[in-house]
Amino acid sequence: MRAVTPFLGALLVFVALSTPCWAEFRFPMPEFETGYEYPEMHTPMPGRTNDLLDVAILTGALGMAAWLVLKRRSRSGVLALTVFSLLYFGFWREGCVCPVGSVQNVSDGILGLSTVHIVVIIFFLLPLIFALFFGRVFCAAVCPLGAIQEVVAVRPVTLPRTVDRVLGFFPYVYLGLAILAVATGSGYLICRYDPFVGFFRLGASFNMFLAGGILLLLGLFIGRPYCRFLCPYGVLLGWMSRFSKWHASITPDECIQCHLCKDACPYGALNLPTPEKVPVPSKTGARRLGIMLAIAPLIIAAGAFTGILSYNMLARIHPTVQLAERIAGEELGYYDDMTLESEAFRESLQTTPELYAEAHAVREGFRGRSAWLGAFLGLVVACKLISLSVVRKREDYEADRQACVSCARCFPYCPIGSDDVNITEQET
């Protein structure tokens, strides 16, 4: 029961993350009396791109990563491809179009709020398709966000399993918040708070440079902190990889229980052998599983209720609500000066009561959607508890299909490693 305890409080984590976010602001346009019509907004594709070339390079890089991990079992080859991906997808293409950020575009399209460019759809789907067949090879050496963390992970240590599990809940929170922001017109949170795009584009706000620098500094000792504890796209990749047809295995032959792979993996992505004697009788395990299944609906309902209670805080990710609260603070004398956003609002024709009314309508729109966010996080907690209640017997050290990023770090440490093909087909 001690193993499942960390997740009992994780349902409320997203409430703490619902504090005000400093995002870009949007303002009502002034009303003109000259019959002026606003031009249609157009968002161009990022510069320095060639659609067909980018898709071809992404496909080739994913195929190369799968070959290096599954057939060649080459850590040096994976590392070389990592450097290439960092230079091309990161610094040359400036991190865009990025499969991680494409979650928002695709959500926008699914909700019918905008049309999604075909290149964005391909970038979103390709890594997921490869993960379904070969595991998280996109994370292994193709993702520029993972690449920049991989090259700085010089002395990573293994975190306690409990800490790793609790922090592993945050990507689900981030994914839910990102989709909530899209659904409510609050913007693209993933792109707005990308910690490494400032390095790729050699330009970002001080706060984002600081955030990226802190993550890279942590990455010296904690393997890929963004990938493991923040990346929302990693949630989807993990789901696909969990059911992958083939996946990287630690050893190409029979495991000799040397434990070296455990010391080599800094990502907590190994499943340890189970003891010879099952720690609890089978009837006790079945009863525990039954209890977890019975309380799962209650956990989901509790999550939905928590989401409803948190809708006011969650609404602060919306620019209109942020502006309304800033204006209210200025009028109450909480601030000595105006921001560019509040100054622009005061020069517009919209009145303060109109702004407050608009912000109130936005908050009300968050009420039902926040309940869905809470229910989703409740479902995640319930599934985690159920999975921890099931004890699977393992005789060898095995890669956790969902958590393993196929980085090949463990390959050189295996004393019986070879260059032979070692593709482990999932049992059906």
DSSP string, 360-402: HHHHHHHHHHHHHHHHHHHHHHHHHHHHHH-----SS-EE-TT
| Helices vs strands, H then E, count in the chain | 21, 4
Distance between CA atoms of residues 422 and 251, nearest Å: 8
Is residue 312's pLDDT more than 70?
Answer: yes
More confident of the two residues 243 and 37? 243
Look at residue 87 in the predicted model and tell me its pLDDT.
Answer: 95
Residues 370 and 366: their CA atoms lie apart, in Å, by 6
Percent of the chain with pLDDT over 90: 56
pLDDT band with cut points at 50, 70 and 90 for residue 22: very low
50 pLDDT higher than 90: no
CA angle centred on 313, ends 191 and 193, rounded to 5°: 15
Distance CA 192, CA 171 (A): 16
Taking CA atoms, 158 is separated from 83, 153, 182, 263, in Å, by 24, 12, 35, 8
Decide which of 77 and 97 is more confident: 77
Query: Sign of the CA dihedral 224, 157, 267, 279?
Result: negative
Residue type, 133: F
**Does residue 402 have a pLDDT over 80?**
yes
Which residues contact residue 134 at a Cβ distance below 8 angstroms, ignoring those fewer than 6 apart? Answer: 66, 69, 70, 244, 245, 246, 247, 406
> How confident is the model over 105-132, as a mean pLDDT?
93
pLDDT in tens, 170-212: 999 999 999 999 999 999 999 999 999 889 988 878 888 999 9
Six-digit token string for 223: 């393997």
State the Cα–Cα distance between residues 260 and 367, nearest whole angstrom. 50
Q: List, as one string, the DSSP characters of 160-223.
A: PHHHHHHHTTHHHHHHHHHHHHHHTT---HHHHT-SSHHHHHT---HHHHHHHHHHHHHHTTBS
Please name which of 311, 306, 316, 293 lies closest in space to residue 377, comparing C-alpha atoms.
306
Neighbours of 169 (CB within 10 A): 20
Q: What is the model's pTM?
A: 0.84
Please report the pLDDT score of residue 155 as a whole number.
86
Structure tokens of 25?
Answer: 């602001």
Would you state the pLDDT for residue 282? 67
Higher pLDDT, 231 or 274: 231
Question: Which of 57, 100, 79 is CA-nearest to residue 197?
Answer: 100
The model's pLDDT over 132-167, given as tens digits with 9 standing for 90+, comes to 999 999 999 999 999 999 999 988 888 888 899 899
pLDDT at residue 315 tops 70 = yes
What is the amino acid identity at position 361? A
Report the SS3 class of residue 232: helix
- Reading the block at residue 105, the tokens are 């575009």
Helix (H, G, I), strand (E, B) or coil at 336: coil
Query: Rounded mean pLDDT of 340-361?
Result: 92
- Residue 417 pLDDT grade (very low, low, confident, very high; cuts 50, 70, 90): low
Asked whether residue 9 carries a pLDDT value surpassing 70, the answer given is no
CA angle 237, 421, 406 (to 5 degrees): 25
What is the rounded distance in angstroms from the CA atom of residue 320 to the CA atom of residue 186?
9
To which residue do tokens 């708070």 refer?
Answer: 193
Per-residue pLDDT at 278: 56
- Looking at residue 312, its amino acid is N
Residue 222 DSSP one-character state: B
CA distances in angstroms from 280 to 108, 246, 285, 296, 389, listed in the order given: 47, 32, 7, 22, 11
Q: Does position 326 have pLDDT exceeding 60, yes or no?
A: yes
